[in-house]
């Protein structure tokens, strides 16, 4: 019995048991929930001068959602490219973090 060959097979099998489709679905769900939260957070920003310009933040956030998470949901639904889909979702979460950090600096500090 070749012990080293068995260990190699087990490590490959352990890597194959990681379900990237579930990971991609969880990441896409997290991104979708955060995108929905941004509407709530923007609605509670103090009005400032009353022009409603804080709602312009919806457009770049929507673009991140459309570029990263809609394709991720589509790929999860059809079961294609699960590793790429998980990576796409993680990139979307990073883009949300960077964009949201910039927006928090622009919004008044009262509520957020």
pLDDT in tens, 75-100: 999 988 999 999 999 999 999 999 99
Say if CB 28 and CB 89 are below 8 A apart.
Answer: yes
| Phi-psi category of residue 34: left, alpha or beta, with phi > 0 → left and psi -120 to 50 → alpha | alpha
What pTM value is reported for the model? 0.77
Q: In this predicted model, what pLDDT tens digit does every residue of 3-13 receive, in sequence order?
A: 555 555 555 55
Contacts of 38 (CB under 8 A, 6+ apart): 57, 58, 61, 100
Pull the structure tokens for residue 83. 């590793």
């Amino acid at each position: 019995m070749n012990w080293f060959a068995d260990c190699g097979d087990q490590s490959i099998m352990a890597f194959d048991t990681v379900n990237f489709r579930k990971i991609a679905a969880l990441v896409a769900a997290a991104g979708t929930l955060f995108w929905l939260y941004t509407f709530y957070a923007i609605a509670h920003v103090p009005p400032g001068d009353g022009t409603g310009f804080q709602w312009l933040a919806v457009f770049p956030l929507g673009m991140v959602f459309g570029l990263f998470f809609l394709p991720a949901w589509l790929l999860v639904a059809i079961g294609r490219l699960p590793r790429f889909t998980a990576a796409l979702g993680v990139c979307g979460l990073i883009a949300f973090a960077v964009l949201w950090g910039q927006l928090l600096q622009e919004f008044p500090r009262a509520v957020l």
